[in-house]
């Protein structure tokens, strides 16, 4: 007697919106992206030449920005823009809620491909989404061109872990 194994295929449906042109974005999204672009040049990326800036919109309408910082022990001792801005915000704006995060990244030449944040940074976003008990919108883009927008950061890290599972 033979037993047949049936292979199950699960499909992961990741929901996001892609904007081909910045003119398709809301005024609020454009404001945050432009604020991020203004501070991108302050990133210290002498080793990788890859400048990243993260901007947060808080529930008090304040926009905060931070950028990546590389030091001589690159890459192990470098600090990414996303972690810097989140840790700064939860330390200095204790009662504020993060509504939206924007990440603008690229080298000196204008990249038009949206560049996502890494899994470790995504997990930090999930942590603070749970702490705040509300979704955090997330947008990422290059220096120009397309923008990818997630209505909540959990949508782009579907297999994240939560404190309740640890």
Query: What pairs with residue 51 in β-bridges?
Result: 106
Residues contacting 114, CB < 8 A, separation 6+: 140, 141, 142, 145, 146, 147, 148
Q: In whole angstroms, what is the distance from residue 166 CA to residue 162 CA?
A: 7
- CATH annotation of 26-161: 3.40.140.10
The answer to whether 128 and 86 are in contact (CB under 8 A) is yes
Q: Tokens 């037993």: give the residue.
A: 3
Structure confidence at residue 72 (pLDDT): 67
Q: 0.85 exceeded by the pTM?
A: no
Average pLDDT over residues 47-72: 89
Per residue in 95-144, pLDDT tens? 888 899 998 887 766 666 676 666 666 677 777 666 667 788 889 888 78
Q: Which residue has the higher pLDDT, 83 or 3?
A: 83
* Spans of all domains in the chain: 26-161
Structure confidence at residue 58 (pLDDT): 95
Q: In whole angstroms, what is the distance from residue 128 CA to residue 47 CA?
A: 30
How many CA atoms within 13 Å lie on the side-chain side of 63?
Answer: 18
Structure confidence at residue 158 (pLDDT): 63
């Amino acid at each position: 007697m033979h037993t047949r194994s049936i292979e199950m295929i699960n499909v992961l449906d990741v929901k996001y919106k892609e904007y081909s042109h910045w003119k398709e974005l809301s005024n609020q999204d454009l404001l945050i992206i432009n604020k991020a672009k203004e501070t991108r040049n302050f990133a210290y990326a002498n080793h990788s030449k890859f400048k990243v800036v993260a901007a947060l919109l808080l529930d008090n309408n304040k926009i905060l920005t931070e950028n990546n910082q590389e030091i001589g022990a690159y890459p192990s001792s470098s600090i990414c823009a996303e972690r810097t801005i989140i840790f700064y915000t939860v330390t200095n704006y204790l009662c504020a809620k993060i509504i939206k995060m924007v990440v603008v990244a690229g080298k000196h030449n204008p990249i038009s491909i949206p560049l996502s944040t890494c899994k470790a940074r995504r997990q930090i976003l999930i942590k603070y989404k749970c702490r705040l008990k509300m979704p955090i919108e997330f947008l990422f883009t290059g220096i120009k061109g397309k923008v990818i927008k997630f209505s909540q950061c959990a949508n782009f890290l579907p297999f994240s872990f939560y404190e309740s599972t640890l």
